[in-house]
Amino acid sequence: MATSEARRSSRRRALLGRLAIPLLAIFTALIVASLAMVLSGTDPIKAYLALAEGAFGSQVARVETLIKATPFLLAGLAIALAFRGGLFNIGVEGQLFVGSAVTVFIGYSVELPAAIHIPLALLGGMIGGAVWAGIPGYLKARNGAHEVITTIMFNFIALRIISWAIGVGGPLRAPRTVVPETPAVFESARLPILIPDSRLHAGVIIAVIAAFVVYWLLWRTVTGFELRTVGANPNAARYAGINVEFNIVRTMALSGALAGLSGGIQVLGLAPYTFTTGFNVGLGFDSIAVAVLGSIHPFGVALAALLFGAMDAGARLMQLRTKVPIDVVTIVQGLILAFVAADQIIRRLYRIRTETEEGPVSLSQSWGGGS
Amino acid sequence: MSEPVLRLVGISKRFPGVLANDNVDFELAPGEIHALLGENGAGKTTLMNVVYGLYKQDEGQIFIDGRQVEIHDPNDALARGIGMVHQHFMLVPVMTVTENMMLGHETTRGLRLGLLSDLDPDRVAEEIKALGDKHGLSIDPEAYVRDLSVGEEQRVEIVKALYRGAEVLILDEPTAVLTPQEAEDLFSIMRSLIAEGKSIIFITHKLKEVLVIADRITVLRDGRVVGTTEPSKTTEAELAAMMVGREVILQVEKGPAAPGEAVLEVQDLQVRDLREQMAIRGVSFTVRAGEIFGIAGVQGNGQAELVEALTGLTPVEGGHIFMNGQETTHLRPRAITETGIAHVPEDRHKHGLVLVYPLDENLVLQTYYLPPFAKRTFLQPKEVRENAIRLIQEFDVRTPSVRTHAGSLSGGNQQKVIVARELSRDIRLLIANQPTRGLDVGSIEFIHRRIVEKRDEGVGVLLVSSELDEILGLSDRIAVMYAGEILAVMPAEEATKERLGLLMAGVREAPDSIAAD
């Protein structure tokens, strides 16, 4: 039928539109940031070239990009998974902390064969993150406490507990150190290095596998069907006999497990293989931008994580060459998020028609809804 | 008759997919109580929201005191003397009555310092008291709104409108939340107000109240004015017919029923609605295999709560439900579904479909976790897809593909998707709530035929509908629900439109019933 052809091509256009918004958002953010550079007397083209070279120009640069992208990917997946289930998990930061602490504890307190030690330490971190996310999930399922509030509060609780634990006299504090940090994990718990004499650890592979697992979980399993249905229409989910309350807890726990894995891989993969308070601060929040830029889709999140990793990796060279402060990268990242989240700006700027069909996930749907 | 205080000419208001008001004319005379009567969804509230400036009409004009006006927002409406009391009150619970009155209308004393001016709650409190005393609206200006009863909150809303200088008062379903005694009080307040020269638009679907209180009655149906009449010139039965019915009875071909054993038994069921009011007050009935048991009634008389309680979506307060011989009173929805129940829900967007899902996933919404659609925990996309292709063909769903989102189909096709999903399962009881609302004649006939087919296969059918034609055309036995009770159950042969219409209006059939109710 002619009409069915037309509709199919309109769907293809809609898919193109979904890719167009993130790409145009990145482009616009770069333009806006370059205006700031021009005002401060720098050549933005030179700066961006340095940024690109710092991210992709050499093997060291490429390795650095992948290392930086890895935690973004895992933490971004955590946020995307929760979004699919209708939940806004702002607590990835805290879950990542708890996961790292558990992983590092298993890593330094026992010595086991690597084949057991690494999985055990990572699993411990995932469970730690899952529990830390599961509690706000339970509070929402049981009492309707909004997860945005509770997860933010749990971030503070996690931060303070861990500051105490690695502070002077704390149970995780390494003996005879001046800075607050844990002991380093045993050799047997460290992730193997993929390219000799580089920092590239096997965490990259784990993160990519995680992206495929999340994709497969969401669209190929009963669990994923329930998770997405609760996220898309909790009333229909209840009508279909899905236990909405249980699913809220499960989705949060799965999201927290990914967050915990994200932190665990950092402590097992990168020297000095310890956990300190300054560890990865802000990663859990930056990952919200990664997830949103990645259209809440595992593969989109992977691309967005790569971009954010590249920007972080290239920033140093940009500063070196052009005196543009590293912070400009943060500004660009912030602008990207703003343009993706407020996509009407991009649509109006580039005259893209608003889709009449509802998008796959509305970022604000968990507000005021609940159970 | 003197110049109308409010005149609406040719008002039309469109929402995506719905024409909520279609060329509506309406007049309100000074000192008049004009009732706006119609079923839920007939467009009464939409029309009044246009008058109150909450919506902008797509077509038509509004005249106040003979002058054409544009009403942009509620402040605009208030400035022109139009006040509205909504169905759901718009008060701030943690503030006092006086503070609520002053919101957006702050009275100050002393120096005029803009945002820094000194508020004058005492003067406001005095004015409220005076206004209240004048109309028998006793309210304590110092009381916190959260401590007030529903009836008192309503009085605060009315006083608030008067305090802002309303000459025309719109009351949206004001008696829905009131006890009979409170409703009586409200009526005397309304009489006192019109004696003062105010005019009132009274929105309702309760026929009795209209006949008691209104000077004129305008009936809306499907967004159009059916007619305007006066209480002395009409009857409840006539109003019910105006509200509810098309004149054409859709004739469904069906043979006599062959009822078997009971598949659904409801005993003394009690259910509360979301506002914690009793919505079902001790209902008992039985549905047998191979029969269609129709529940007629004006919408909002407990039918929605009944169906939600039967399917486990709303907790049961008291009584018992047996399905296929098993007690299901307090079971979860899935357990109830698995006893062999299909449910075509009233609201296809809220419950029936996940609009952002493609059709194939919507078609396994109840069975996604069972073989062949899932093996252990893994979905089987091929089976899901083949199921969709088969059902789409069998139920004649017009769609470009099985991966099309449900949200992009027409209402009729969406409903066919739900009916296909529910009827394709192995079921013994079908609960269908408003299965054809808002559909075109072709889709209605198709769905009716499928329901009768299921009956002939020996499935028990509970059909809930506010369309009398649908009830009369399909049912083998008919019950009428009014105010959370079943007033009568009768074989379909004994039912007439007039008889059902009276029962739907709450007129009991026993001798002296009119006085007793």
Structural domains of chain B in order of their starting residue, each with its CATH number = 6-244 (3.40.50.300), 250-340+427-517 (3.40.50.300), 348-425 (no CATH)
Query: What phi, psi does B90 have (nearest 5°)?
Result: -115, 55
List helix spans (H) across chain A: 2-39, 44-56, 59-84, 92-109, 114-143, 147-165, 203-220, 222-232, 234-239, 244-269, 283-293, 298-322, 327-341, 343-349
List helix spans (H) across B82-232: 97-102, 121-135, 150-163, 180-195, 207-213
Q: Which residues of A touch B368 (CB under 8 A)?
A: 222, 225, 240
Q: How far apart are CA A149 and CA B336, in angstroms?
A: 35
**Interface residue of B351, B366, B398 to substitute, partner A, most A CBs within 10 Å:** B351
> Mutual orientation of helices A92-109 and A114-143 as an angle, nearest 10°?
150
Contact at CB, A239 and B368, closer than 8 angstroms: no
Cβ-proximal residues to A331 (8 Å cutoff; 6+ apart), any chain: A33, A36
Contact at CB, B313 and A236, closer than 8 angstroms: no
Residues with pLDDT less than 50, chain B: 246-250, 512-517
Q: How far apart are CA B268 and CA B357, in angstroms?
A: 39
Choose the closest CB to A240 out of B350, B366, B379. Answer: B366
**CA R_g for chain B:** 26
Nearest residue to B343 via CA among A238, A229, A247, A245 = A238
Contact at CB, B354 and A241, closer than 8 angstroms: no
Contact at CB, A222 and B352, closer than 8 angstroms: no
**Interface residue of A18, A222, A358 to substitute, partner B, most B CBs within 10 Å:** A222
* pLDDT above 60 for A369: no
Q: How far apart are CA B248 and CA B145, in angstroms?
A: 49
The one-letter amino acid code at A97 reads: F
- Domains belonging to chain A, first-starting first, are 9-349 (1.10.3470)
Host H or E run for residue B411: helix B411-423
**Contact with chain B for residue A3, Cβ under 8 A:** yes
Q: A361 to chain B: nearest residue by CA? A: B356
Is the separation of the CB atoms in A232 and B357 below 8 Å?
Answer: yes
Q: How far apart are CA B408 and CA B392, in angstroms?
A: 15
Choose the closest CB to A4 out of B354, B355, B401. Answer: B401
Counting every residue written for chain B, the total comes to 517
Q: Which residues of B touch A359 (CB under 8 A)?
A: 356
pLDDT confidence bin for A297, thresholds 50/70/90: very high
The per-residue pLDDT for B118 is 74
Q: Which residues of A touch B333 (CB under 8 A)?
A: 238-241
Distance from the Cα of A365 to chain B's closest Cα (Å) equals 13
Pairing relation of β-strands B118-119 and B216-221?
Answer: unpaired
| Cα dihedral value A168, A173, A176, A181, nearest 10 | -100
The per-residue pLDDT for B481 is 93
Give Cα separations from A54 to A51, A279, A312, B98 (angstroms): 5, 23, 9, 65
Choose the closest CB to A232 out of B333, B356, B400. Answer: B356
B→A interface, C-beta within 8 Å: 311, 313, 332-335, 337-338, 343, 345, 350-357, 361, 365-366, 368-369, 374, 377-379, 381, 400-401, 404-405, 407-408
Diameter over CA atoms, chain B? 84
**Contact with chain B for residue A215, Cβ under 8 A:** no
A–B: how many Cβ contacts below 8 A? 84
Distance from the Cα of B402 to chain A's closest Cα (Å) equals 12
Q: Which residues of A touch B361 (CB under 8 A)?
A: 225
Q: Which residues of B touch A237 (CB under 8 A)?
A: 354
Query: Tokens for A206?
Result: 């784990």
* pLDDT above 50 for A164: yes
The per-residue pLDDT for A57 is 93
Is the separation of the CB atoms in A252 and A147 below 8 Å?
Answer: yes
* pLDDT above 60 for A190: yes
Q: Which residues of B touch A222 (CB under 8 A)?
A: 368-369, 374, 377-379
Q: B16 to chain A: nearest residue by CA? A: A356
Contact at CB, A222 and B404, closer than 8 angstroms: no
Query: Tokens for A328?
Result: 């400009």
Judge if the upstream peptide bond of residue A272 is cis by omega within 30 degrees of 0: yes
Q: A219 to chain B: nearest residue by CA? A: B379
Q: How far apart are CA A194 and CA A200, in angstroms?
A: 6
Counting every residue written for chain A, the total comes to 371
Is the separation of the CB atoms in A140 and A370 below 8 Å?
Answer: yes
**Kindly report the CA angle at B293 between B258 and B38, in degrees rounded to 5?**
150
Q: How far apart are CA B455 and CA B314, in angstroms?
A: 27
Residue A364: CB atoms within 10 A of its CB come to 9
List helix spans (H) across B11-113: 44-51, 74-79, 97-102
Q: Which residues of A touch B378 (CB under 8 A)?
A: 220-222
Interfacial A residues in 341-370 facing B (CB < 8 Å): 357-360
Contact at CB, A241 and B333, closer than 8 angstroms: yes
Contact at CB, B405 and A357, closer than 8 angstroms: yes
Contact at CB, A8 and B354, closer than 8 angstroms: no
The per-residue pLDDT for A213 is 98
Q: Which residues of A touch B369 (CB under 8 A)?
A: 222, 225
Q: A235 to chain B: nearest residue by CA? A: B351
Residue B248: CB atoms within 10 A of its CB come to 8
Nearest residue to A87 via CA among A252, A262, A289, A288 = A252
Query: Tokens for B439?
Result: 């559909």
Contact at CB, B353 and A243, closer than 8 angstroms: no
Distance from the Cα of A20 to chain B's closest Cα (Å) equals 20
Cβ-proximal residues to B114 (8 Å cutoff; 6+ apart), any chain: none
Summarised one tens digit per residue, pLDDT across range A237-280 is 999 999 999 999 999 999 999 999 999 999 999 988 999 877 77
Give Cα separations from B292 to A22, B289, B426, B439 (angstroms): 54, 9, 18, 21
Q: B365 to chain A: nearest residue by CA? A: A240
Beta strands in B164-310 (DSSP E): 168-172, 199-204, 216-221, 224-229, 262-272, 278-288, 292-296
Interfacial A residues in 219-248 facing B (CB < 8 Å): 219-225, 228-229, 232-233, 235-243
ipTM of the complex: 0.84
Is the separation of the CB atoms in A90 and A286 below 8 Å?
Answer: no
Distance from the Cα of B430 to chain A's closest Cα (Å) equals 14
The per-residue pLDDT for B41 is 63
Is the separation of the CB atoms in B359 and B406 below 8 Å?
Answer: yes
Summarised one tens digit per residue, pLDDT across range B20-56 is 899 999 999 999 999 998 865 678 888 999 999 988 8
Summarised one tens digit per residue, pLDDT across range A326-350 is 888 888 888 988 888 887 788 888 8
Side-chain half-sphere CA neighbours of A172 within 13 A: 26
Pairing relation of β-strands B292-296 and B477-482?
Answer: parallel
Choose the closest CB to A235 out of B351, B356, B361. Answer: B351
Query: Tokens for A162?
Result: 């861990």
Q: How far apart are CA A87 and CA A78, in angstroms?
A: 11
Q: Which residues of A touch B356 (CB under 8 A)?
A: 232-233, 358-360
Contact at CB, A241 and B366, closer than 8 angstroms: yes
| Residue A56 burial by Cβ neighbours in a 10 Å radius (0-12, 13-18, 19+) | middle
Report the b/e string of B348-357 with b at 16+ CB within 10 A.
Answer: bbebbbbbbb
Judge if the upstream peptide bond of residue B372 is cis by omega within 30 degrees of 0: yes
The per-residue pLDDT for B439 is 67
* pLDDT above 50 for A293: yes
Pairing relation of β-strands B216-221 and B59-64?
Answer: unpaired
The per-residue pLDDT for A351 is 77
Report the b/e string of A195-232 with b at 16+ CB within 10 A.
Answer: eeeeebbbbbebbbebbeebbebbebbbbbbbbbbbbb
Q: DSSP label at B114?
A: G
Nearest residue to B283 via CA among B293, B208, B292 = B293
* pLDDT above 90 for A177: no
Distance from the Cα of A201 to chain B's closest Cα (Å) equals 32
Distance from the Cα of B366 to chain A's closest Cα (Å) equals 5
Is the separation of the CB atoms in B141 and B172 below 8 Å?
Answer: no
Q: Which residues of A touch B380 (CB under 8 A)?
A: none
Report the b/e string of A27-48 with b at 16+ CB within 10 A.
Answer: ebbeeebbeebeeeebebeebb
Contact at CB, B401 and A241, closer than 8 angstroms: no
Cβ-proximal residues to B516 (8 Å cutoff; 6+ apart), any chain: B508, B510
pLDDT confidence bin for A362, thresholds 50/70/90: very low
pLDDT confidence bin for A157, thresholds 50/70/90: very high
**Interface residue of B377, B380, B403 to substitute, partner A, most A CBs within 10 Å:** B377
Q: A221 to chain B: nearest residue by CA? A: B378
Contact at CB, A358 and B355, closer than 8 angstroms: yes
